[in-house]
Structures are given as structure tokens and as C-alpha cells.
Amino acid sequence: MQLQKRNLRSPSPKPQVKEDWHKKIAANRGAAWRKNMLAGRREALLNPSNIRLVRLKKDIHQAVIAKRLDMSESTFGAIERGKRLVKKDVAAEIAEILGAPLQKLFKPAQKQKYVAILVKPVI
């Protein structure tokens, strides 16, 4: 009895991703979207939260923390920018991951809800 050789081909190469994909997306979404996106990035750089500062100091990416918290990166980004409230247990878990006290990263906003503390620019 002879064994047949299987034809094991190498997997097909992945299509090359153009480096200008973000320009194509921006062109499709329009100038207003690009303006708002750049304004949001500028605001995050000028008025960062303590969460962002501690995260960058420890060289941890948003994706890593979001995965450990079982949430999307965009949700964690909104928490970090102070646009989303979180429950006390989630805030405590973020503080534990970053190794910082809860009071340094969050302030109480509503009953059992916390919001990120934003750093005020020094002028």
C-alpha cells in the first residue's frame, strides 16, 4: 500500500496594504471628520489624563489594558480621555493594572461612578 503525497503548497501571500490607507479613509469621510479627529488628538496631547500619563510612563498600550479588561480599545480610550464614566470596580481594576492609587487616576462623578482626572495645562 502506497501513501499518497499531499501537495502542501505554501499559503498564498497576503495582499500588500498600501501605506496611504488612512488618507483614503479620510477622503471618504470628508474634511469635517479629519478636522474633528485632529482636534481630538490635539486635545488628548494638551490635556492628558493621569491614566494616559501613567500608562505612557510604564510603556503600556491601550490595547493591552483593554484586552485585560475585556473591552474594546475605543471604550478604554473614551475612559482615558474622561468621556466615559466607569463603575468603581472597573476603575479599581485599571488602577491595579497601572500600579497607581485609584484617587490619583479617578475622581467620583456620580453615585458609584468615576471619571478620569484630566491634567490642566500650566501656562
Residue boundaries of the structural domains of the chain: 49-116
Q: Which three cell numbers stand for residue 21?
A: 490607507
- pTM score over 0.95: no
Q: What does the pLDDT average to over 87-97?
A: 94
Collect all residues with Cβ–Cβ distance below 8 Å to 58 and sequence separation of at least 6.
98, 99
Let me know: does 65 contact 75? Beta carbons within 8 Å: no
**The three cell numbers locating residue 17:** 496594504
- Smallest CA-to-CA distance from 65 within 93, 87, 89 is with 93
Q: Quote the percentage of the chain above a pLDDT of 70.
A: 81
pLDDT tens digits, 6-35 = 555 555 565 665 567 777 777 888 888 788
Burial of 50 (0-12, 13-18, 19+ CB in 10 A): buried
Of residues 87, 100, 90, 40, the one with CA closest to residue 68 = 90
- Average predicted confidence (pLDDT) for the chain: 82
Alpha helices in 13-111 (DSSP H): 21-29, 31-46, 50-57, 62-69, 73-80, 88-98, 102-105
Residue 3 or 96, more confident: 96
In the chain, % of residues over pLDDT 90: 46
Please give the CATH architecture assigned to the domain spanning 49-116.
Orthogonal Bundle (1.10)
pLDDT band at 98 (very low <50, low <70, confident <90, very high): very high
Task: Tell me the C-alpha to C-alpha distance, in Å, between residue 85 and each of 9, 55, 91.
Answer: 51, 18, 9
